[in-house]
Amino acid sequence: MVVTRRVLLTAGVAVITAGLVAGAIALVAASRPPVAKAFPDQAAYPPLAAKPTGPGYVGLIEAQWAIRTATATGIPERAVLAYAGAVVRSAEVTPDCGLGWNTLAAIGLVESDHGRHAGSSIGANFQVTPPIFGVILDGGDTANIPDTDGGAIDGNAQYDRAVGPMQIIPRTWASWPSDGNGDGVGDPQNIADAAVAAANYLCNASKGMNTAAGWHAGIAAYNAGDNYLTRIRAAAQRYADESR
C-alpha cells in the first residue's frame, strides 16, 4: 500500500479530533460535582493490641493505630480509642450490625467536637471535663421531654436534656448504661462509656449499619434532621478516607 500525504493528513486530523473530544469529555467530567454516596463507607475493623494496654474495650485497641488515626483525622487519640473500643464491643454483642468507628466519630464530631465543646477536654480516664450539657428540652424550639432522671444525670429536675460528648438523653442512657473504659462505672460524660451506649443505640435501631437503609435508620433514630444526616454522612466518609 502506498501511503499518500493526504492519507497521513487525514489520519492526523482524526487523531487530533479524537484527542480533543476525549479532552472535552474529561473537562466535563471534572466539572461535575461528585455524586454523594447513599451512605458512607464503614471503616475497617480496628486492629487489636497483641496484649491489652489497659482495662475496658479501649485497652484492646492497638495503640500505634490509634496514634496514626488521630494524626490523620485530627480526632483526639482518646476519642479514637473510645470509638474503636465501642465498635469492638458492638461486634461482640451485635455482630450483624456492621457499625464502623468512623460513623461513631462523625456523631462525636457533630455533637461535641469529640468532647471539646466549649473548652471541654478528655482526661486520662476518658472523662470529659467540664461536663457537656445540651439545651433543656422544654418544648420551646425543641422537643418537649419531661424529666426522667430527677436531674441526677442532666442537672435539671423539670425537663431532660442531652448530656456528654455523644449527647445522650437520660432516658436513652437508662436503656443503655455502658462501661467502655473498664472502671466499673457507667457515665455519659465519659467518652468511652458514651460511645458504647451510642453504638448500642444505633445497632438496636438499625440492625445493619453496613447497608444504606440500615445506616439511614440508625442515624435517623439518633437525630431525624436531614441536615444532621448530611453532616454525619460527610464526616463519616471523610474519616474513612483519611484513615486508609
For residue 237, the Cα-to-chain-centroid distance in whole angstroms is 8
- Dihedral pair phi/psi, residue 14, rounded to 5°: -60, -40
Helical segments of the chain, H only: 5-31, 63-73, 77-93, 101-112, 170-175, 191-206, 212-222, 226-242
| Residue ranges of domains in the chain | 1-32, 41-242
Q: Please count the other Cβ atoms lying within 10 Å of the Cβ belonging to residue 14.
A: 10
What predicted TM-score, i.e. pTM, was given to this entire model?
A: 0.85
Cβ–Cβ under 8 Å, residues 165 and 172: no
Burial of 83 (0-12, 13-18, 19+ CB in 10 A): buried
The predicted structure's pLDDT at residue 36: 59
The residues, any chain, with a CB within 8 Å of residue 30's CB and separated by 6 or more, are none
The predicted structure's pLDDT at residue 59: 98
* pLDDT by residue, tens only, the chain of 244 residues: 333 333 333 344 443 344 433 444 344 444 444 445 889 999 999 999 999 999 999 999 999 999 999 999 999 999 999 999 999 999 999 999 999 999 999 999 999 999 999 999 999 999 999 999 999 999 988 899 999 999 999 999 999 999 999 999 999 999 999 999 999 999 999 999 999 999 999 999 997 999 999 999 999 999 999 999 999 999 999 999 999 9
